[in-house]
Amino acid sequence: MKQYNLSEENEKNEENEKNLNNISNNIFSNIKKFEHEEYQYLNIIQHILENGFWEDGRNGKTKSIFGNSMRFSLKDGKIPILTTKKTAWKTCLKELLWFIRGETNNKILKEQGVHIWDANGSREFLDSRGLFNYEEDELGPIYGRQWRQFNKPFFSKGQEDVTKEEGIDEGIDQLQQIIDALKDPKQRTSRRLIMTAWNPCQLHQMALPPCHILCQFNVHDGNKLSCMMVQRSCDFFLGSCFNIASYSLLTHLIAKHCGLQAYEFVYFMGNVHLYENAIDAAKLQITREPFEFPTLSISQIKENINDYQVEDFEIHNYKHHEVIKVEMIA
């Protein structure tokens, strides 16, 4: 009969306990890993690939779903710039500042090396929209115009702007109204801090009707600023990564400008799609593990929201996977 060895039994128990602890630690490590907010984005890609419907649309074949949402923390300077592929955040920021200033001409972006709007500002594309009077790169009353001069009559170059002569409405500066309210402790908790780019009266004058159509700002706990954005059409591989970064940057900027703290960005989506030419790229992206999101600092508070420059923004510790190139479809 084998002699019972208490010491050997204790060693086995200790080894078993150690193994169980390792398993437990691995489980909790994986749970923590999958809490990373970027998995919201990767999971939606997976959902589109597995459950989306193929549709022939205005500009090509897409695989799409309808209706989804994500939310991203902006606390402590965090900025959700996707890490599973390199995101050109400076390009995104330049476009955002162009929106904020109410600009509509793509030449201004081209001079800064930004080519997001080139296809939509081409002669061929403008003519396809019936905008024969527009010079190339004039995009009409798109986002920035609606943010800063909502519904002001728009005249292309060569047409007479009779606004001042005939006393036509100068439009509504939605962004400045929101800033004024957020700077006022009595108004900042209003549930009416809404800015819309969707203007049915002027859609026919826009090179491209807005995809991100509305946002709402909200303050909780005295100084925590959040932004909710609604997007009707989401090019999920190329566009949504920019939209997440852009509205997060906007929220951080407005918080800084108004003496508040950026808290959260909430993103609601309508038609969420992958273009046919992005399917393989999307399959590659979902195999990558996200890195921690970077943080943002804005160097100073300017008197006017129009005065901020790219140099005023600094992104810290942006670690990312390699870029995945896919051609944009206009």
The catalytic position among 211, 215, 227, 234 is 211
Query: How many C-beta atoms lie closer than 10 Å to residue 156's C-beta?
Result: 16
Q: Which amino acid is at 31?
A: I
CA distances in angstroms from 12 to 96, 179, 309, listed in the order given? 62, 66, 65
Q: Three-state SS for 190?
A: coil
Q: Residue 227 catalytic?
A: no
Q: Residue count of the chain, please give it.
A: 330
Q: Where are the beta strands (DSSP E) in the chain?
A: 53-57, 60-73, 194-196, 212-220, 224-235, 261-275, 295-298, 313-316
Residue (of 219, 146, 213) closest to 179 by Cα position: 219
| Count of helices and strands (H, E) across the chain | 10, 8
φ and ψ of 317, to 5 deg: 60, 45
Tokens of 108: 């201004």
Helices (H), 120-239: 123-128, 143-149, 163-166, 174-182
Mention every residue, 6+ apart, whose C-beta is less than 8 A from residue 47.
65, 68
Active site residues: 211
